[in-house]
Structure 1
Amino acid sequence: MTTRRKFLAQAGLMSAGIMLAPQLLSAKSKNGVGLQLYSLRQQLPKDVKGVIAEVAKAGYQEVETFGYSKTNGFWGLSAKEFSELLKANNLKTPSGHYGLDEFFSTGKMDQFDAYIEAALATGQTYVIVPSLNHNLIKTAADFKTIAEKLNKAAEVLKTHGLKLGYHNHNFEWTETEGTTFYDTILNATDPKLVNMELDLYWVVRAGHDPIELFKKHPGRFKFVHVKDMDKTNNNLNTEIGTGTIDFKSIFAQAKLAGIEHYIVEQENYTNIDPYKSIAQSSGYIKNTLKV
């Protein structure tokens, strides 16, 4: 991966008076910084209203939802009630994580329809597949089948004015029969229909360079999950800017990637209060990365 020093040298900006390369301005987002609410999954069921207020206090402008169900809504609130809560805290939600395993495996629309209703009620634009049942993608033929179903799901969403996204972990790069699931869906889905939410932590943990993905598939990555890797234990996340991932170089390629939304996610906390953690990450992204 390109180091910060190499990046500045290539840009010809090594003078002491210049702290950041002008290309970093391309990371600037009109949408502000978002938080994947999974980061606070233990707190939300206990006090959803209080948690959302804390998210706003931590400096976020957007949230990405998860865990919606037709019976329990968003932590006991209906989609409409949750939307009003966000508005009361000056927050927006561009996207939500909604599992579509039922649709992919059986074609049934019951659950999918409920998710569409929730997305529309909260003003979301993107329904994002957070992961997949691994039994659905055992073979290269399975990869192609799911790619076709991603296209079909995106077509369904389009009729409602919504868009489809796919969020990765690292299993998507496991080689099977000479290919990988991620390569398959990038190549076999319609770029106009299927967008990618690139989780930068999982890409790096899988041994890949996000910038190379941007170069091969420009414009495909409307969202990035901004998640840093702990310096001593790669299995853990840490606050943005304190780990090993070179976000400056990655964000410098925001226009090439097509990034529109920067979503912080942290799955674990080590000796730090979660609210302090998310505030620290938000501050670093705004003040240092200039998003």
Structure 2
Amino acid sequence: MVSRRIFIINGSLAAAAVLTLPSLAFTMKKKEIGLQLYTLRDELPKNVKLVLEKVASAGYTTVETYGFSVKDQFWGLSAVELKKILDANRLKAVSGHYNSGTFLADGNTTELIESIKAAKILKSEYFTIPWIDEPIRRSSEDYKVIASRLNLAAKLCKEAGLKLAYHNHDFEFIKYNGITGFEILLQETDKNLVFFEMDLYWVFYSGNNPLQLFKENPGRFKLWHVKDMDKKIPALNTEIGSSSIDFKAVFAAAKLSGMDHFFVEQENNFAVDSFTSIRASSDFILNHLTNL
């Protein structure tokens, strides 16, 4: 039996196809397929150089970093050292996930400023905040505070030549007095400074429709996470193109979204191993989702 969530994924996309027009079709001018490096979190810290070589050989040209800390930098490498390895493999870190929990909780900018410095060294375009700790997101008022801090972080990013994005999970779609946290973040942040990285999987998992969000907020979803949902166990990921999500309909609305970059991400449920999976996802995107 088809689950209600999977029915929503397929049915809502078909119904929402009217939201997209031929002029919004997605055409890539260059071969740019990105990978969120968290996909390889078990392998990467052991041998960054070897892993990034494999990422490049799997067809990726851009990456999104994760795991930066002021103390350990990037898995024991400084931003300068990481940039050299990326350059050697013709990879660009166009975005990075930077944990900014301290700043979001109390407004202390120390960690935020150091993270911005690292992003600048990597010559990233986007500085992405990937998470809100549960204790500070329990009400609509909490989300309004978060929104105000995102506005401040975005100003600091702009001064450094970066753009700020916020990455969603599913918890942002919980309603508080009739409004979701995600709606608050969209409404209370400066649309010219604060952008969003839509995690397509989590939007679908929460029962929402990316195409509707694109229509309601055109141009704000500059980044995407592209990961598929297992047909039998929706809580698990799988390789792009092998399961539930109709990515063709989503990619057709890339212009409406405002998407500049997208990143494959797979957190679990690898068919063989993580390297085989990222290659399979890259191949599917190259052959079925882009006009190269």
- TM-score, L = length of structure 2: 0.91
| 1:61-94 Cα deviation digits (max 9, x unpaired) | 0000000112222112110110010000010011
Query: Where does the alignment leave 5 or more consecutive residues of structure 1 unmatched?
Result: 12-20
Distance 1:276 1:155 in 2: 40
Say if 2:254 is the partner of 1:264: no
SS of 1:288's equivalent in the other structure is helix
- 1:1-291 aligned within 5 A: 1=9, 25-28=25-28, 30=30, 32-290=32-290
The question of whether the paired residues in 1 share the 8 Å contact of 2:10 and 2:245 is answered with no
Shift of 1:23: 6.0
1:126/1:6 CA distance change after superposition, 3 Å: closer
Letter in 1 for 2:265: E
SS of 1:152's equivalent in the other structure is helix
| 1:196-253 Cα deviation digits (max 9, x unpaired) | 0000000000000100000000000000100100011001000000010110001111
Distance 1:85 1:275 in 2: 19
Distance 2:172 2:234 in 1: 18
% identity of equivalent residues: 46
| 1:99-156 Cα deviation digits (max 9, x unpaired) | 1111122222221111011101101121101010111111111111111111011011
Query: Where does the alignment leave 5 or more consecutive residues of structure 2 unmatched?
Result: 1-8
Distance 1:34 1:137 in 2: 30
How many residue pairs get aligned? The number is: 281
Distance 1:37 1:177 in 2: 37
Over aligned residues, Cα RMSD in angstroms? 2.1
SS of 1:149's equivalent in the other structure is helix
1:275/1:23 CA distance change after superposition, 3 Å: farther
1:141/1:223 CA distance change after superposition, 3 Å: same
The question of whether the paired residues in 1 share the 8 Å contact of 2:38 and 2:267 is answered with yes
Partner of 2:6: none
The question of whether the paired residues in 2 share the 8 Å contact of 1:25 and 1:290 is answered with no
1:187/1:280 CA distance change after superposition, 3 Å: same
Letter in 2 for 1:35: L
Shift of 1:157: 1.2
1:192/1:6 CA distance change after superposition, 3 Å: closer
